[in-house]
């Protein structure tokens, strides 16, 4: 993979709070951007369906302030008045952007200068009129109060909140309207395929609202990184996260609500082995009397088992491991870069041996790939043998964006299953009731057989799987699985 160091050096100057940029031989192809964050304890929007209210993310994975990306099925207004899915836009296409005329904005034809895709954490923004927008947390929309990004981030930029009105179409001009008021902002997953474009006007019309485009190429005013894979190899590290968290937890207004970690970016990704931020974050949470939970695929957490065991005597601690399959070849094709299934089973055993209840998230269960009775039996039996205290199972969700990415993967890797997936999902995001009922009939008896019906997740923090046979409703849990 090519890395243009000159471009990186230009871009790093624009990253707010940047301390330094680091490249090391042990992390070939990855660039760390060390920043000083203003806030690390993040409030989940009250309208969210997530079963927790606060999160901490010491790492921003591959995200940057210029990652303005949207789902592939987002309708883009073309210059001829028709719409076209963002994923299908091509360089050279003529679309509509906007031009500012005094205090007003009007539609203006423009050309697409660049188009690319990436995989990022994403949110669903729902408007009063029913419009839904799926975008990364850093994507910006024009509101009646100026440009705002979707979710609060490390940059201190203004962000959307319920009630804010977006700007959309009205007789060739752009204006606000009650139907464009934000009703909710909901996180939907950490690894969602997203798309973006660069235009001549610097914006475009997406699902009827004015959307800022990314200037990752050409004349980006924030960062000048490559737009595709380079974004996926840039890790923003909040090197002062432990100190900031400790200060925020000492606030008189802090009510010691449960804090969930690992629901967006994995706090025990490989970078944690270098930066060692989690021990001090865990200690700060415990010292303040704050209960917390951690969901991870990263075996770096083994390092902190003694600490987690110690603080669990002071505050409620939930530990969870995500493990969806045992086939190492399939794991490498679906989850490249994650620890092997056996390494995660070994970690579950070490957690259990230390007396830490460990729940396991079997997600996503992939129809016709990982859902046979034999596969589920083998997986659940090994999880039980490792000492897990409970299991939650979630079938694959194919939300907009994820659907296009997975369909492409399936067509390339398993074309024989394309028709079967059409039968299970149709045109929707979720597996059919018939499939979920069939999956429940398979999983329920296995959970009972191996004593995995209960869950160790602290109440209000992570999903629970009841002791009864798994039902479609229980299988419809929504929690980022990757």
| pLDDT value of position 151 | 86
Backbone angles phi, psi at 110, to 5 degrees: -150, 165
Q: Does this chain's domain 63-232 share its CATH topology with 255-475?
A: no
Top mean-pLDDT range of 89-93, 194-198, 316-320, 394-398: 316-320
How confident is residue 117, by pLDDT bands cut at 50, 70 and 90?
low
| Class level of CATH domain 63-232 | mainly beta
> Dihedral, CA atoms, 377, 381, 468, 398, nearest 10 degrees?
-60
pLDDT digits (tens, 9 = 90+) for 41-76: 988 766 555 667 899 989 875 332 223 477 888 999
Give all strands of the β-sheet with 18-22 in edge-to-edge order. Answer: 18-22, 31-35, 234-238
Q: Which of 220-229, 390-399, 465-474 has the lowest mean pLDDT?
A: 465-474
How confident is residue 27, by pLDDT bands cut at 50, 70 and 90?
low
Q: Which of 207-221, 234-248, 311-325, 453-467 has the lowest mean pLDDT?
A: 453-467
Q: CA 263, CA 480: separation in Å to the nearest integer?
A: 6
Q: Are 153 and 121 in contact (CB under 8 A)?
A: no
What's the topology of domain 255-475?
pyruvate-formate lyase- activating enzyme (3.80.30)
Q: What is the pTM of this model?
A: 0.59
What does the domain layout of the chain look like in residue ranges? 63-232, 255-475
pLDDT digits (tens, 9 = 90+) for 217-250: 332 233 333 333 443 467 788 999 999 999 999 9
Q: CA 280, CA 285: separation in Å to the nearest integer?
A: 9
């Amino acid at each position: 993979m090519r890395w243009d160091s000159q471009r990186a050096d230009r871009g790093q100057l624009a990253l707010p709070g940047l301390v330094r940029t680091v490249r090391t031989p042990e992390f070939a192809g990855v660039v760390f951007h060390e920043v000083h964050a203003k806030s690390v304890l993040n409030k989940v929007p009250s309208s969210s369906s997530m079963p927790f209210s606060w999160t901490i993310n010491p790492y921003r994975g591959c995200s940057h302030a210029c990652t303005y990306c949207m789902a592939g099925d987002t309708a883009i207004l073309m210059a001829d008045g028709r719409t076209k899915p963002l994923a299908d836009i091509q360089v050279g296409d003529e679309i509509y952007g906007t031009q500012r005329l005094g205090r007003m904005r009007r539609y203006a034809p423009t050309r697409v200068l660049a188009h690319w895709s990436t995989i990022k954490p994403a949110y669903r923004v729902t408007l009063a009129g029913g419009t839904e927008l799926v975008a990364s947390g850093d994507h910006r929309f024009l509101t009646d109060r100026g440009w705002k990004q979707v979710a609060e981030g490390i940059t201190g930029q203004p962000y959307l909140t319920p009630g804010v009105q977006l700007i959309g179409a009205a007789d060739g001009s752009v204006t606000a309207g009650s139907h464009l008021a934000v009703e909710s902002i909901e996180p939907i997953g950490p690894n969602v395929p997203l798309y973006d474009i660069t235009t001549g006007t610097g914006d475009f019309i997406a699902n009827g609202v004015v959307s800022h485009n990314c200037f990752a190429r050409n004349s980006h005013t924030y960062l000048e990184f490559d737009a595709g894979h380079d974004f996926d190899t840039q890790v923003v590290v909040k090197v002062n996260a432990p100190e900031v968290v400790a200060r925020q937890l000492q606030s008189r207004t802090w009510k010691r609500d449960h804090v969930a970690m690992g629901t967006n970016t994995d706090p025990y990704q490989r970078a944690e082995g270098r930066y060692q931020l989690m021990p001090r974050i865990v200690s700060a949470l415990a010292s303040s009397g704050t209960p917390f939970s951690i969901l991870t695929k990263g075996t770096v957490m083994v390092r902190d088992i003694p600490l987690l065991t110690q603080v669990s005597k002071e505050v409620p601690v939930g530990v969870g491991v995500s493990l969806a399959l045992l086939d190492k070849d399939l794991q490498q094709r679906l989850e490249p870069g994650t620890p092997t299934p056996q390494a995660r089973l070994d970690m579950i055993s070490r957690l259990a041996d230390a007396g830490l209840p460990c729940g396991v998230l079997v997600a996503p269960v992939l129809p016709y790939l990982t859902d046979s009775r034999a596969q589920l039996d083998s997986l659940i039996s090994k999880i039980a043998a490792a000492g897990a205290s409970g299991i939650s199972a979630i079938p694959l969700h194919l939300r907009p964006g994820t659907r296009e990415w997975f369909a492409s993967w399936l067509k390339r890797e398993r074309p024989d299953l394309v028709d079967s997936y059409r039968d299970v999902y149709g045109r929707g995001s979720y597996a059919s009731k018939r499939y979920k009922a069939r999956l429940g009939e398979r999983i329920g008896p296995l959970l009972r057989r191996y004593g995995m019906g209960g869950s160790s997740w602290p109440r209000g923090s992570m999903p629970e799987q009841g002791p009864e046979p798994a039902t479609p409703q229980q299988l419809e849990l929504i929690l980022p699985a990757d």
